[in-house]
Each structure stands twice: as C-alpha cells, then as structure tokens.
C-alpha cells in the first residue's frame, strides 16, 4: 500500500520526461528534477551494486566454474563438464544428506511454527509481566548459536550430562542423545525448533496484534467455541504472515550450518549430515572442491526457484 | 480483512442491549480467571525454555573442579581473560561487528531509498536480485571467496571477514531500509524540493533524519548476524589471535577434556552484547514489515 504512495512522487517526476513534458514551467521543473533524481539514484545505488557483484555475483559465477572443473582449493583443474554433478547425484551420502535436510526442514518449520503460534496465542491476552515474558522468550533466538549449542552440549552430550542423568534417575535408562543416530537427529531438530520458535512467535504476534478483538467477543456471543474461533477467525487472519514465515523458515533451515555442525558435527555415522554440512566437509575436509561446490550449486538452484516464487507471491499479496 | 467481516455476527439484533452488557461482563470475568492460568503456563514454559541459558550463566559463576573458591565466583571470568586470548577475541569480535554495522547501514540506506522511491524496470529487477541473493546458501560463495581473498591476503584477516559480513547483510538490510522508507510520506520530500533542496539533500535531511527506527532495526540485524556468525569465521580464520568470539569458544572444545568453566565464562561474555542490545532496542526491531520478517535465521 505504501508503495503506491512512493510511486506517485519521484516516479511521476521521473516519468515527466517521457511524454515530452516540456511546455509548462511545472513540467520543466519536474523533468529537471527527474534527471537529477536519476543521477542521484545511480550514485546512491552504486556501493550496493559493487558489493553485490563482488560478494554474490562473482562467487556465483566462479562456483559454476569450479563445479564443472576438477582440481582443489588452490588450483582449478580441467573442465570435466557435469562429472562432479553425476558424482554427487550418484553418491548415497548425497541422498542421505538430502533426506536429512528434508526432515530437518519439515520439523524445523512446523515445529517452530506450532510452538511460536501457541506462545503467541498465550501472550496475546494481557497477563501479568506479559512483556517481560515476550522478551525472555526471544532469548533462544538472540543468544549466539555457539553459546546455546555449548549449553545444549553440556546438557545432553555424555551419559553423565544433566538430562541423561535425569532420565536415569527416573528409571528410563540412559539415552545417548548425540551418540545414537536416531536420537541425535531428533536432538538436532528439537534444538532447531528451540532456536527458531521465537522468530515465528514474533511474526505471529505481529499479525495477531492487528486483529480487532471485538470480532472474538462478537463470535463468542454468537456461541462460537474457542476452537471454532481459532479455525474460523484467527487462522485466516494470520494466513499471509504464516505463509511468508513458512517459506522464510524453509530457506533458513535448508541453509542452516551452525545449528547442526556445532551440536553433532554431522554425526554419528553421518546421521545428522545436512547438505550444507556435507558441502562444507567435502570442500574443507576431503578437499574435493568440485563435488562440494556442485552440492552447494544444486542447493542454490533449488533455493533460487523457491525464492523467485516467494517474491512473486509477496508482490502479488502486497498489491491486493 | 474480509474474514473479519464474515466473522461478525448476523444475529446481533437478537440480543437485547442489557444481555449484550451481561455477556460482556461474563466474558471479561472468564478472561480474568484465564489470565492466571495463562500466567502460570507461560511461567513454566519460559522456565523450561531458558534452562540452557540459565545453565550457562550458573556454570560461568560456579567454581571449577580445581578451584578453592566457594559459592558464586568471578574467578572463571578473570581466569578466561588472564589465561586465554579471550580479550583479543572480544576485541576482534567488537571491531568486526561494529564495522559491519556501520558499513551495512551506510550501503543499505541509500540503496533502500532508491528501491523505495525509484520505479523503473532496473530498480525492481535489482530488488528481485537482492531478494534471491539473500536466500542463497552462503556455502556456495564461501569457496570462491576463499580463493579470491587468499590472493588478496584477506584470509585470516578481520577486514576480509568484515567485507563478507557486509556483503551478506546488505541484501536484507537494503530491503529493511526500503520497507521503512516506504512508510515515510513522499510529500515531505516534495515540500523540500519546492524549497530548492536537491534529491540527495532531501534524502539526507528529510528522509534519513526521520528514519532512526529503520536505521536501528537494520543496525540490530547486521549486529546479530556479524556477532553470531560461525560458518564464515570457521572457513576464513586460521590463527588464534585473529579468532572472533565464536571461534574462541569453539577452540576450548579441541582439548581432550573440555574446560567447561572457561567455556561457559566466555559464553556469557559472548551472549551479553546481543542480549543487552535486544533488551534495550527490541521495540525498534518489530518495524519494517517484510524487512523485519526477513531478518531471521
């Protein structure tokens, strides 16, 4: 909506040039301004463009070169065509990592959404110290991942850590949270939900804040049950921000490196190796630059498609 | 909004005025009772959620196994600063992060202004490009950048790290600034042009001057990203004295037996700045529509 306002000002002034806008004095002033605006815009945008080319454009092109060549980190070798891609696509490790990434993403997105939604709903009504709780609950997202993974490590890593010891004292055995492949996968996903739910909570709270509460009073006078109010009123009203947050969280989960790497390093037995972790290890531990970059490239392609679709959707919904 | 309209009761007239008042009172009493349930539920959930953070703080101030101290102590903190390179790491993190924040805002604010005010194919194309770039895995750029920076002597170098951080914040930062500028009415600028102000002049004197929340929001985002980064640091930093805090904390794990008291002491040092920044400025962080919503992990 605000973009329409922006459109009217400078944009109108700039377009003033096109339809032979001389004639009136106002037209002259406008076209002078628009030429000046174009010049100013160019200089204002220049640093950003230079950085984008240097930090994003150049590496992307160079990555394409590396993905199609053999060689190592120090020297790009000979052109090998799609050989790196076929190496990657035929390796079981790649598909295992892709599968883990998929599960990690699904659990990460919907887990953090459900927890975030629940807390946003609880915090919507006025409760004592509500704002303090809001800030406290953001902490998992604000605290550096290196710090929180350290704490999680201390809590679960060894049989004598706090949580396994707690299980033992309850007579539930001593779960090896980071040594058992299944448990390690679950632990990493729970950790990811823990890190991400505040973001979802923020998004949903912002969406809920714009809902007129009299709607609920009216609905409950009408005899709508809380569940009906939730499904008929709340969910539709937060649908747009929910949709955006799902896709954003998908991108965050697919691209996530530290959450997994710091807690498990991708182990045990590669059980928690995601595509990013696999790409990192292929390049910097196995020194197979070509295949490593090929993995990153395959992810890039997938994410470009997702984000172009997302961009279109956001554009469309902000026009409506 | 259409859903809200449909949700309005059609049966309004069936209720008398008195009944409506009654219903409202009953409702708010239920609400009062609900508040305490909610309060207790939130209290328990928050306590459970914060266990890892509380554990970090408690361990940081608890005497270590070789210590003679009792009760809570600052021994771990002083040890970590006197016996390790913690002070250097802290300085490295601060220098890198603050440079990232300043340069990010300096690059993103003007670019965001163009995105917000300019309407041409080139501008909207650039906006799409920024959006796509922010979603790409940083691991793709890291390898080529490593080779490029190695040739320029920027590997194991804080300047190199800063350049990459600015590069990776600028996409979202530009969107955040653009979203904020969208909310500033263009009529303010038009008035200044009539007074003979240039486009650049109106940008700095009129728009930027009214954009403190937007700038702060962008700055917080850049701060969190640079302060918390691990992937770029682990690839680009080699030597102990160039480490930033995340690498410093991690370096304690390479020994056979982890020195938990030192780790936790340094972890507390590391989490303090973002927590302080967020506690003080979090009201600014909710602004910026899609921009704010992009700022996550």
Q: Using alpha carbons only, how large is chain B's radius of gyration in Å?
A: 26
Q: What is the mean pLDDT of residues A147-165?
A: 91
Q: Residue A127 in contact with residue A205, Cβ under 8 Å?
A: no
Higher pLDDT, B111 or A303: B111
Q: What percent of chain B is modeled with pLDDT above 90? A: 39
Give the tens place of pLDDT for each residue, B210-262: 888 889 888 988 998 999 999 999 999 999 999 999 999 998 886 566 788 88
pLDDT score of A209? 81
Partner residue opposite B4 with nearest CB, options A151, A237, A303? A237
Q: What is the mean pLDDT of residues B98-111?
A: 96
> Lowest-pLDDT range, A32-46, A291-305, B10-24?
B10-24
Q: In chain A, which ranges are continuous DSSP H helix?
A: 2-6, 12-15, 25-51, 58-67, 83-89, 92-124, 130-142, 145-156, 162-169, 181-209, 214-221, 226-229, 235-237, 239-255, 258-264, 275-284, 289-319
Two tokens, residue B57: 């703080």
pLDDT score of B230? 94
pLDDT surpasses 80 at B265? yes
pLDDT score of A17? 33
pLDDT grade for A217, boundaries at 50, 70 and 90: confident
Higher pLDDT, B11 or A134: A134
Interface of B with A in 250-269 (CB under 8 A): 250, 260, 263-264, 267
> Lowest-pLDDT range, A33-37, A220-224, B129-133, B249-253?
A33-37
CA pair distance A311, B125, nearest whole angstrom = 11
Integer angstrom CA distances of residue B39 from A30, A126, B98: 59, 9, 38
pLDDT score of B3? 36
Higher pLDDT, A77 or A19: A77
Interface of B with A in 152-211 (CB under 8 A): 163-164, 166-168, 170-171, 174, 181-183, 185-187, 189-190, 193, 198-200, 203
Q: What is the mean pLDDT of residues B176-190?
A: 85
Residues of A in contact with B168 (CB under 8 A): 55
CB contact under 8 A, B3 and A236: yes
CA pair distance B296, A196, nearest whole angstrom = 8
pLDDT grade for B297, boundaries at 50, 70 and 90: very low
| A70 phi and psi angles, rounded to 5 deg | -90, -170
Q: What is the mean pLDDT of residues A59-74?
A: 85
pLDDT surpasses 70 at B65? yes
Residues of B in contact with A296 (CB under 8 A): 137, 139-140, 143
Q: What is the mean pLDDT of residues A105-131?
A: 91
pLDDT score of A197? 95
| A79 phi and psi angles, rounded to 5 deg | -70, 130
DSSP classification of residue B69: -
Give the tens place of pLDDT for each residue, B127-158: 888 888 888 888 888 889 998 999 899 999 99
Q: What is the mean pLDDT of residues B186-212?
A: 85
B58 contact A CB<8A: no
CA pair distance B177, B292, nearest whole angstrom = 10
DSSP classification of residue B120: S
Question: With a cut of 0.90, is the ipTM above it?
Answer: no
Q: What is the mean pLDDT of residues A263-271?
A: 91
To probe the interface with B, which of A51, A113, A161 has the most B CB atoms within 10 Å?
Answer: A51
DSSP letters for A70-136: EE-SS-EEEE-TTHHHHHHHT-HHHHHHHHHHHHHHHHHHHHHHHHHHHHHHHHHS--TTHHHHHHH
pLDDT grade for A140, boundaries at 50, 70 and 90: very high
pLDDT score of B33? 63
pLDDT grade for A223, boundaries at 50, 70 and 90: confident
Q: Residue A244 in contact with residue A314, Cβ under 8 Å?
A: yes
Cβ atoms within 10 Å, residue B121: 7
Residues of A in contact with B250 (CB under 8 A): 146, 262
Buried b / exposed e over A40-58, threshold 16 CB at 10 Å, is: bbeebbebbeebbebbbbe
Partner residue opposite B189 with nearest CB, options A9, A219, A310? A9
């Amino acid at each position: 909506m605000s973009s329409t306002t922006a459109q009217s000002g400078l944009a109108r002034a700039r377009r003033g040039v096109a339809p032979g806008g001389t004639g009136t004095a106002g037209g002259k002033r406008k076209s002078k301004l628009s030429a000046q605006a174009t010049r100013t815009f160019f200089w204002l945008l220049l640093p950003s463009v230079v950085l984008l080319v240097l930090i994003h454009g150049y590496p992307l092109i160079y990555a394409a070169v590396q993905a199609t060549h053999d060689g190592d980190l120090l020297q790009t070798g000979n052109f090998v065509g799609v050989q790196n891609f076929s190496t990657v696509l035929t390796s079981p490790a790649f598909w295992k990592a892709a599968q883990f990434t998929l599960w990690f993403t699904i659990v990460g997105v919907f887990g953090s959404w459900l927890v975030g939604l629940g807390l946003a709903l609880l915090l919507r009504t006025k409760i004592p110290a509500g704002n303090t709780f809001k800030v406290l609950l953001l902490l998992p997202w604000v605290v550096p991942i290196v710090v929180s993974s350290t704490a999680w490590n201390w809590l679960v890593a060894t049989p004598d850590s706090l949580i396994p010891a707690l299980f033992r004292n309850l007579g539930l055995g001593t779960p090896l949270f980071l040594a058992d492949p299944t448990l390690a996968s679950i632990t990493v996903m729970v950790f990811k939900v823990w890190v991400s739910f505040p973001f979802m909570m923020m998004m949903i709270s912002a969406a809920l804040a714009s809902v007129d509460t009299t709607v609920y009073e009216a609905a409950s006078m009408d005899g709508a049950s809380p569940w009906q109010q939730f499904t008929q009123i709340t969910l539709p009203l937060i649908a747009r921000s929910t949709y955006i947050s799902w896709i954003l969280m998908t991108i965050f989960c697919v691209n996530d490196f530290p959450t997994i790497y710091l807690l498990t390093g991708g182990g045990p037995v590669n059980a928690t190796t995601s595509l990013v972790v696999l790409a990192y290890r292929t390049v910097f531990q196995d020194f197979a630059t070509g295949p490593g970059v090929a993995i990153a490239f395959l992810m890039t392609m997938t994410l470009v498609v997702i984000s172009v679709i997302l961009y279109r959707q956001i554009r469309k919904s902000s026009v409506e | 909004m259409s859903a809200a309209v449909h949700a309005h009761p059609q049966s309004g007239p069936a209720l008398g005025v008195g009944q409506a008042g009654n219903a409202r009172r009953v409702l708010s009493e239920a609400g009062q009772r609900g508040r305490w349930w909610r309060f207790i539920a939130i209290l328990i959930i928050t306590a459970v959620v914060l266990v890892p953070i509380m554990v970090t703080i408690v361990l940081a101030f608890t005497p270590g196994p070789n210590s003679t101290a009792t009760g809570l102590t600052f021994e771990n903190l002083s040890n970590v600063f006197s016996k390790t390179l913690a002070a250097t790491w802290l300085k490295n993190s601060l220098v890198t992060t603050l440079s990232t924040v300043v340069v990010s805002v300096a690059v993103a604010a003007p670019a965001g202004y163009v995105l917000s005010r300019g309407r041409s194919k080139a501008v909207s194309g650039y906006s799409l490009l920024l959006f796509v770039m922010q979603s790409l895995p940083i691991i793709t750029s890291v390898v080529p950048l490593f080779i490029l920076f190695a040739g320029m002597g920027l590997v194991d170098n804080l300047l190199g790290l800063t350049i990459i951080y600015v590069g990776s914040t600028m996409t979202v930062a530009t969107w955040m600034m653009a979203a904020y500028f969208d909310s500033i009415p263009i009529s303010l600028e038009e008035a200044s042009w009539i007074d003979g102000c240039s486009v650049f002049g109106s940008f700095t004197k009129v728009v930027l001057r009214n954009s403190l929340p937007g700038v702060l929001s962008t700055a917080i985002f850049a701060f969190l990203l640079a302060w918390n980064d691990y992937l770029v640091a682990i690839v680009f930093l080699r030597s102990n004295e160039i480490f930033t805090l995340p690498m410093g904390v991690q370096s304690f794990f390479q020994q056979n037996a982890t020195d938990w008291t030192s780790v936790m002491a340094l972890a507390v040092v590391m989490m303090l700045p973002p927590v302080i920044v967020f506690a003080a400025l979090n009201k600014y962080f909710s602004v910026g529509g899609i921009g704010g919503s992009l700022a996550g992990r």
